[in-house]
A = this chain, B = another copy of it.
Amino acid sequence: MATLVVPNPVPTLLEDAEKLRKAVQGWGTDEKALISVLGHRNADQRKLIRQAYEEHYKENLIKRLESELSGDFEKAVYRWILDPVDRDAVLAHVALKSFNVNFKVIIEIACVLNPDDLLAVKRAYQKRYNSSLEEDVASHTTGDIRKILVALVSTYRYDGKEVKSALASSEANTLHDAIEGKAFNHEEVIRILSTRSKAQLNATFNRYKDVHGAALTKKLLDDPADELTAALRTAVRCISNPIKYFEKVIRNALNKPGTDEDALTRVIVQHAEKDLKEIKEFYYKRNSVPLDKAIAKETSGDYEAFLLTLLGTDGY
């Protein structure tokens, strides 16, 4: 469930556009007013506000905000204001263009979204960058990492619930053999993770645990320095339990000396309208500290206020 709080009744588009206009006009910016509007509107509403703003004031709201804001707050607002598929396309592009490709972002998009949502992101990516996500992933990576990433972003999985249990057994064994043999680049592992449906994969992971006494991810822990193992592990975690996976991304981001704001922003903006409530609950269960308190401790100012607003806590 979402954590985003939308007021009822919601102000008209013109009222919202006007409030934003006032917030960015003149000397200085009224960040509080920006947050009070944008932090309380869903994707459809934000889109209509952008359109209303542009029609009425003949300027692009996103560009105006970019020129008014800065730092982590600007990044968070920019990511938030976009349509979800555009946001994922942008996040993928940023991940590919960074000096060390952030392959986790690519795997999250490829493995957490359902097949049609992944396709929508791939279409948005093509529209924005005039190239396919597949080709850009392939040309920014090499070796084994490339094999797994290209396979994961390319595939259009079957999305049905039907599970073949004999197949789950045999492929649990295939995974086990490949992992015990330390052949992490084994074509079979990549084939299974990238082509099977999520329902089928979860049956295979369960079967693996039943037969081999430990979760597949535990077996993939052995060599944390190995990038491919880490990628496979990320894929398995994103497929089997995204809530648990994202809780850990947030936890690592907050615990990192200096805080990993990019990761923190990414998870909050991507999930505030989807399942951030579950992630928040899981965070509390795991850390015995409410997520809003933990975020308040590690962040400050408008950035803090904005994240807390998206988290359903009043930011100011």
Q: How many copies does the complex hold?
A: 2
Q: A150-B191, A187-B147, A195-B150 are in contact. Are A155 and B130 (CB under 8 A)?
A: no
Q: How far is the CB of A101 from chain B (nearest CB, A)?
A: 15
CA distance A196 to B134 in the complex (A): 8
Q: Which residues of B contact A134 (CB under 8 A)?
A: 155-157, 194-195
CA distance A168 to B187 in the complex (A): 29
User: Is chain A's binding surface mostly helix, strand, loop or mixed?
Assistant: helix
Which of B147, B158, B159 is the one whose CB lies under 8 Å from A135?
B158
Interface size on A, residues (CB 8 A): 27
- A240 interface hit (Cβ, 8 Å): no
Q: Which residues of B contact A159 (CB under 8 A)?
A: 126
CA distance A195 to B131 in the complex (A): 9
Q: Which residues of B contact A195 (CB under 8 A)?
A: 132, 134-135, 138, 150, 154
**Is B187 a contact partner of A130 (Cβ separation < 8 A)?**
no
Q: Which residues of B contact A151 (CB under 8 A)?
A: 150-151, 154
- A213 interface hit (Cβ, 8 Å): no
**Is A130 a contact partner of B160 (Cβ separation < 8 A)?**
yes
Which of B132, B146, B155, B197 is the one whose CB lies under 8 Å from A197?
B132
**Is A160 a contact partner of B126 (Cβ separation < 8 A)?**
yes
CA distance A131 to B159 in the complex (A): 9
Which of B122, B135, B146, B154 is the one whose CB lies under 8 Å from A196?
B135
CA distance A130 to B162 in the complex (A): 7
- A119 interface hit (Cβ, 8 Å): yes
Contact mask for chain A residues 118-143; partner B; CB cutoff 8 A; 1 contact, 0 none: 01001000100011101100100000
Q: How far is the CB of A98 from chain B (nearest CB, A)?
A: 20
Supply 17 further A-B pairs (C-beta < 8 A) apart from A132-B156, A147-B187, A154-B156.
Answer: A126-B158, A126-B160, A130-B160, A130-B162, A131-B197, A132-B155, A134-B155, A134-B194, A134-B195, A135-B157, A138-B195, A151-B151, A151-B154, A154-B155, A154-B194, A154-B195, A156-B156
